[in-house]
Structure 1
């Protein structure tokens, strides 16, 4: 909850009615010592980090809505009238090659719904690096419905790709990624800090905790909306922060190292032809259980038979992608259905005889790998489909409102000051030392959080020094 709050000077016009004193608790002394420190950190983070969060929230809202916008904007390429019979996949691939002879087919995405086109992905020198050219083929008539750049495992088309780039790095490349990592690094800190402040403020009053107050516009009512909406959104905001950090530049590397060390690395499928099946596969026991016969150079039974072999091996989802074999490799057929229950198994198929080289079931993933995959899919809006996208849009809108309400409270209380400096001195040493150690560890693990926190401290010390010099000059004068 991004609060830009100043608790020093009370608003007489907004003075709240007297409330019964809360029942004393054993932890009250600890919270009384910590509250000024949490408030000061929350204030600085709100002032200095909220602009980054606002950009991330606005662009994230646009991204969440881009899935449905993409279906409307590219309806001609994505949808076709339903026919009676479909052409073989291999024939559809040949049609795509004829439409773009300069491209090299790398993968095929058969349409999952009856009215969906087949997406043939090509490596093409005319599309941006890291992007494939998608040729959309009518599976019933063979008509080429269009050609568009396609990005990522979700197949984002140009509209969604542009919005995704805006959200990730403001189209500034590697340098721009620092903005989104900074926002993700602080979002969980601000959200949890705001939660503590709100729970401490409304302790014992459950209705005021969960529901905003009514009445005339005032700073008190704004704070009520800010706190209540933040309480409902805090879990989602923390999850957004955590999943966003998993593929960030600096913190993401540290998270990957820890995940690998805990045995939670995502397993990989082996599609190598030379001894891939049997004893040498990473997933021994999941394959066909025997070594295939030697493969003749260039032997290929064809795309349709490879898909049929994968279906026989248990790939039964209607949503699949087929990666065509490179030299020394087999076909890779992957399930891509992220609706519940998840269907994300994959197999590698020998192109010569259809034997299974390796099989990787999502159920066999380590728990951390499963959670990482689901978390990233949820953050990118592909987990559970439309429900996921609406939830992302609601969280983004909530974050936008929280930031605006925070700035409004700051404006209504001007020229108030944040909590007085030196709040850390009120924290008992027995609590301060573990807190400082934990902060140092988190700051090292999430580098942009640690560096910006040091910057906050430098700004705070500078302001304190300037204020002291002014006071000394005034006394001298």
Structure 2
């Protein structure tokens, strides 16, 4: 038996990571299960949307299409009292034009997005571009993809509940990293299983469940890691840290400046049709959304509405008075980190096609199996009537390598919810290891009589 200091440190690290992995898995299991199952539902949104909303999205092809101004006017007439937010012109033959409006009763909500505490309150008016007829209206939350997205990100409770899923994603990332370290086998030359550790052993015992628990997670580990990291980049607290890092590295995403001022000119750009034609001249061939200026001397804004083609993303700002291009940004103008998230987020949403959906579906099922198999392993190991957390003593804590605490601090900064929760866990462990009630007073010197 190796009794060297390095062996003691390795044993201490293993014990700490095992206890951390155990508590995180046991406490975070409900969140992980919810995120995986709702994510699995969201993955198949394109097929479900085609079945539920195909009659609104597609119409018989009629040429030529009416001017976009006529289509917008028809949409607004069908939604009296509403405020127009933006328009998605029909891109392919047979597409409908979609006008996103803020419902009259929701004017108190966020004027920029028609959101109430993070849940969309606006409506979509669908117009046949060839006939100019309104095909129908639908509340944004009635679109299956929007509903499934909000279910996955906030359990349909708005921004106030987003932290729960962010907490689960943070801990799941730590669970995966700690589990990988705990599983990592010794080489066959040192008496370990080596590469054979990737082949689960037969039987029904705890060792077999442990092998499958690790193998399934490792097989889809890269996909799970990408899904977790990209999900955290647009979360509230971790997302703020990510954007701060982008700014510090000079990698912030290029966006339309909010303080653009209109320049004087003699060629006003006042019609939706003219703006659409100008945008199509300067932008890639992709479905776009157009937002009108707030006044006759404001700025028209156009950007890609289709997020499944990251290399064709663009942002465009046009002067309403002069028609001049005030701002233009495409894929090549995006910094490296913005390009990475521009690819990672559509991948997270399964927007790259059937292969992407299948990969995410397997990843979601792998996450579910990891939780279930972990609970089975715990149940098989625990003595009856006890929680049976992996034991951890003061000696192991003192022998832990310094880099472990540095890594935990770095992760706590990058993922604030993880940092706060692990801080609570450390306090509870400290109270267990150093209980105040167990200290006994030593008898003092006897006073002379």
Q: Which TM bucket (shorter chain)?
A: 0.7 to 0.9
Match of 1:79 in 2: 58
Conserved in 1, the CA contact under 8 Å of 2:186 and 2:194? Answer: no
Q: Quote how far apart the aligned CAs of 1:406 are.
A: 0.7
Instruction: State which drifts further: 31-40 or 69-78.
Output: 31-40
Q: Quote how far apart the aligned CAs of 1:165 are.
A: 2.4
Unaligned stretches of 5+ residues in structure 1: 1-26, 152-156, 277-291, 470-477
Q: Quote how far apart the aligned CAs of 1:340 are.
A: 4.8
Conserved in 2, the CA contact under 8 Å of 1:233 and 1:398? Answer: yes
Which residue of 378, 392, 397 maps to 1:421?
392
Match of 1:293 in 2: 265
Match of 2:340 in 1: 371
Aligned 1:54-453 pairs, distance under 5 A: 54-127=33-106, 129-130=114-115, 131=120, 132-150=122-140, 157-200=142-185, 205=193, 208-213=196-201, 215-270=202-257, 274=261, 293=265, 299-313=268-282, 315-327=283-295, 328-340=297-309, 342-352=311-321, 354-382=323-351, 384-415=352-383, 417-422=388-393, 425-426=395-396, 432-453=401-422
Distance change >3 Å, CA 312–CA 247, structure 1 → 2: closer
Distance change >3 Å, CA 316–CA 257, structure 1 → 2: closer
Deviations for 1:136-163, whole angstroms, at most 9, x for unmatched residues?
Answer: 1112222211111237xxxxx5333333
Aligned 1:445-464 pairs, distance under 5 A: 445-461=414-430
Q: Quote how far apart the aligned CAs of 1:257 are.
A: 1.8
CA distance in 1, matches of 2:47, 2:187: 40
Q: Quote how far apart the aligned CAs of 1:54 are.
A: 1.4
Distance change >3 Å, CA 198–CA 273, structure 1 → 2: closer
CA distance in 1, matches of 2:258, 2:420: 43
Q: How many residues align?
A: 416
Match of 2:446 in 1: none
Q: Quote how far apart the aligned CAs of 1:379 are.
A: 2.8
In the alignment, structure 1 residue 34 sits paired with structure 2 residue 13? yes
Deviations for 1:107-153, whole angstroms, at most 9, x for unmatched residues?
Answer: 211233323211112232235742332111112222211111237xx
Distance change >3 Å, CA 273–CA 456, structure 1 → 2: closer
RMSD of aligned C-alpha atoms? Answer: 3.1
Distance change >3 Å, CA 112–CA 456, structure 1 → 2: same
**Helix, strand or coil: the match of 1:74?**
helix
**Helix, strand or coil: the match of 1:333?**
strand
Q: Quote how far apart the aligned CAs of 1:251 are.
A: 2.6
CA distance in 2, matches of 1:272, 1:106: 19
Deviations for 1:231-259, whole angstroms, at most 9, x for unmatched residues?
Answer: 01222222222222223332322222222
CA distance in 2, matches of 1:244, 1:229: 21
What TM-score does the superposition give when structure 1 sets the normalisation length? 0.78
Match of 1:285 in 2: none
Match of 2:444 in 1: none
Distance change >3 Å, CA 311–CA 45, structure 1 → 2: same
CA distance in 2, matches of 1:440, 1:344: 36
Deviations for 1:415-439, whole angstroms, at most 9, x for unmatched residues?
Answer: 18343212x734785x622322332
Q: Quote how far apart the aligned CAs of 1:402 are.
A: 0.7
CA distance in 2, matches of 1:201, 1:172: 46
Unaligned stretches of 5+ residues in structure 2: 1-5, 439-449
Conserved in 2, the CA contact under 8 Å of 1:317 and 1:335? Answer: no
Distance change >3 Å, CA 123–CA 455, structure 1 → 2: same
**Helix, strand or coil: the match of 1:342?**
helix
Conserved in 1, the CA contact under 8 Å of 2:412 and 2:420? Answer: yes
